[in-house]
Amino acid sequence: MPDTGDEPVTVRRVAGGNDPDETIEPGDVDPEHAVFFALGVLLGVAVIATLLLG
């Protein structure tokens, strides 16, 4: 469907997704990114705890 310019279109593709219909609307959480974010937070907490306690 062509864009008529009535509404802004802000749809992003899913990282690593091959299906063009597999999109994420703004405000939705990408499960793949959520896992990496959680691992990053845990790693950061472990590093800070090691520096403070060690």
C-alpha distances in Å from residue 47, one per residue of 10, 22, 28, 34 = 37, 36, 29, 20
Distance CA 34, CA 42 (A): 12
Q: What is the torsion angle, in degrees rounded to the nearest 10, for the CA atoms of residue 45, residue 50, residue 52 and residue 54?
A: 170
The pLDDT value recorded for residue 33 is: 86
The pLDDT value recorded for residue 44 is: 97
1-54 residue pLDDT tens: 566 666 665 655 555 555 666 666 777 777 888 899 999 999 999 999 999 997
The pLDDT value recorded for residue 45 is: 97
The pLDDT value recorded for residue 39 is: 96
